[in-house]
Amino acid sequence: MSTKLASWSAARPVQRLRRDASGERRLQKSRHLSARTATNAAGGGEEIIGVVLVDHGSRRSASNEQLERFASLYASATGREVVEAAHMELAEPSIAEAFARCVERGASTVVVAPFFLSPGRHVQEDIPALASEAAEAHPGIKYLVSAPIGLHPLMAEVMDSRLRHCLAHVNEDGPQCDVCEGTAFGCELRRG
């Protein structure tokens, strides 16, 4: 069954940081597709897209909590209503559990999105196998394993933003970032 994207008029605006002509960073509103913007080509009914954000998983609960916080941030920033965090291994919820939660919340299509930078073995083999197993428990639900983050152009902005924040923290006594705050981990300027 194929899907067609509905018009952009159903999308709600989102604020994004963009550089203007002078290089200044400014918030701009843009349109994006909401979680309910795909229509079923056969029946014309709305299709709800569920998103499962998957990381590797860690024995450290603080590391796993980062993905949960990102899932909340992603849902808020995109307006997607059905977003779940999952860990490939070592922690709960599993891909199968998050997939099931998406279906329980009304998703008719589930996108399993690897929160990985490169398409290594986990992205090419392990996550697709786990997604396939999860989908078997939900006949009629379509699913897709998306590409990892990879070399997306916005990653350069993300990296530079983090770098500038860390430099401000160590050189100007700025605040710790959300990753380091409350942990023993943190930026420290050292000499070789």
Average model confidence (pLDDT) for the chain? 80
Residue 20: which pLDDT band, with cuts at 50, 70 and 90?
A: low
The answer to whether residues 145 and 134 touch, using CB atoms and an 8 Å cutoff, is: no
Residue 13 has pLDDT above 80, yes or no: no
pLDDT, tens digit, 9 for 90 and up, residues 137-171: 999 999 999 999 999 899 999 999 989 988 888 88
Would the pLDDT of 96 be above 90? yes
Task: Give the model's pLDDT for residue 100.
Answer: 98
**pLDDT surpassing 50 at residue 172:** yes
Q: Structure tokens of 26? A: 């400014």
Domains in the chain, start-ordered, CATH in brackets?
1-47 (no CATH), 48-150 (3.40.50.1400), 151-192 (no CATH)
Distance CA 126, CA 118 (A): 14
* Cβ–Cβ < 8 Å for 103, 134: no
> Which 8-state DSSP code applies to residue 48?
P
What is the sign, positive or negative, of the torsion defined by CA atoms of 11, 156, 27, 172? positive
* Average confidence (pLDDT) over 91-118: 97
> When comparing pLDDT for 168 and 5, which is higher?
168
Q: What pLDDT score does 31 carry?
A: 38
Q: What is the pLDDT of residues 65-75, one digit of tens each?
A: 999 999 999 99
Does pLDDT of 36 surpass 80? no
The span from the CA of 136 to the CA of 134, in Å, is 5
pTM of the predicted protein model? 0.73
Assess contact for 128 and 145: CB atoms under 8 A.
yes
